[in-house]
Amino acid sequence: MLHTNTSSKALVFIFVSYLLVLMVDVVFYSRAFSLASTQATTSVFAAVWGFVRMWSVALAVVLCLRLQKERVRDWLWGLFRFNKKTVALYLLSPLLVYLALGIYVLLALPLGYFDFNAYVNIVADILKSSHAGVTSQDAEKLARLYASAQIPQAYLFAITINALFALGEEIGWRAYLYKLLGSKPSSRNVALIGALWGLWHASAIVLLGFNYTYNRALGALLFMLLCIALTYPHLLVVSLSNGVLPAASLHGAINALWGLTLYASSIPRERGEIVLGFGFLGIAAWCILSLVTALVIKYRERKAKINAALVMTSVHRAVAYVKYSSRLMSPQCLWLDKGWFKLP
């Protein structure tokens, strides 16, 4: 149960963050994207929209802190801890996305839902349309090289530009709201933060077709479920580091790599939105990763408790031995075959 004050803070943050992002989506839906005349300008508008949208959550946090008369600079500075553990988690967290991608491929491949050649063909078609002199054979070779290079290259984007973009969201969902809820990666917090995080994308999905061009209403529901499945690893790295930076690199890796699951398939896009990486298979892959990760953490915590208990038992035995030895050396005692007898 949340205290009334905590509930009020959480509700205010949710209202402000949803209102701000709705304003951003409406403005870009009605103005910016309609002004884009070429693919290049559309990409620029999309990048600006993404940055403004993600950092609107951080703005909501600042507004809430102002309303509560808290020192914004001190609160924000407390999120950034630069030590060896934080740096290690920042660099390692994106690898969880590669593990999730591996699980996804294992699920999708037997069903015929993963085909890397389909993504290569998409890249080859783009190369042929943009470079008239490129032959089909050369375009396919370049496309395969480019598509293959994107997989390791996604890691570099995850820890640089994508992390910067994602940090705006993480300040809100995995820092401010997570702290209000107690900073514990419990099932309640995973479900609540994940659902709110996912529904926060609903206006982008419905208005702009974000990730779901054909299934917008269903896509809003699927993306909420996907965000719930994604949330435990984010909360875990925040709890382990006591900071928000590792969650930003993890989020950045998802944005850099997970889109591959939608394009590396030969099934129609309309169906793919429902069953591929942003649908049921993606949800299943992240649920498996989260469950396995939670079990590993539980096992390590249990092992640590057992080791701590063994240490305490050893300490108690050592203390008892010292007391026993001191009594043995006492001049008032004499050892006989039948036990201890005190001298009169």
| pLDDT tens column, 167-203 | 999 999 999 999 999 999 999 999 999 999 999 999 9
Tokens 């290049």 appear where? 40
Contacts within 8 Å (CB) and 24+ apart, 203-207: 203/21, 203/22, 203/25, 203/26, 204/21, 204/25, 204/53, 207/25, 207/26, 207/29
Residue 61 confidence (pLDDT): 97
Residue 1 confidence (pLDDT): 52
Residue 321 confidence (pLDDT): 61
CA separation, residue 132 to residues 127, 136, 138, 190, 309 (Å): 8, 10, 12, 50, 72
Residue 323 confidence (pLDDT): 65
Query: Sorting pLDDT into bands at 50, 70 and 90, what band is 135?
Result: confident
Mean pLDDT over each residue of the chain, to the nearest integer: 89
Residue 206 confidence (pLDDT): 95
Alpha-carbon radius of gyration of the chain: 27
Residue 226 confidence (pLDDT): 98
Planar angle of CA 206, 210, 214, nearest 5 degrees: 65
List the one residue out of 270, 282, 298 whose CA is nearest residue 186. 298
Give the tens place of pLDDT for each residue, 237-271: 999 999 999 999 999 999 999 999 999 999 999 99
Average pLDDT over residues 51-59: 97
Average pLDDT over residues 10-25: 96
Average pLDDT over residues 72-101: 93
Is residue 37's pLDDT more than 80? Answer: no
Phi and psi of 334, rounded to 5°?
Answer: -135, 130
Give the tens place of pLDDT for each residue, 4-16: 688 999 999 999 9
Tokens of 132: 């008239």
- Total residue count of the chain as it appears in this document: 344
Tokens of 141: 């070779």
Residue 36 confidence (pLDDT): 59
DSSP string of 262-328, one letter each residue: HHS--S-HHHHHHHSTTSHHHHHHHHHHHHHHHHHHHHHHHHHHHHHHHHHHHHHHHHHHHHHHHHH
Return all residues near 19 (Cβ < 8 A) that are at least 6 apart.
none
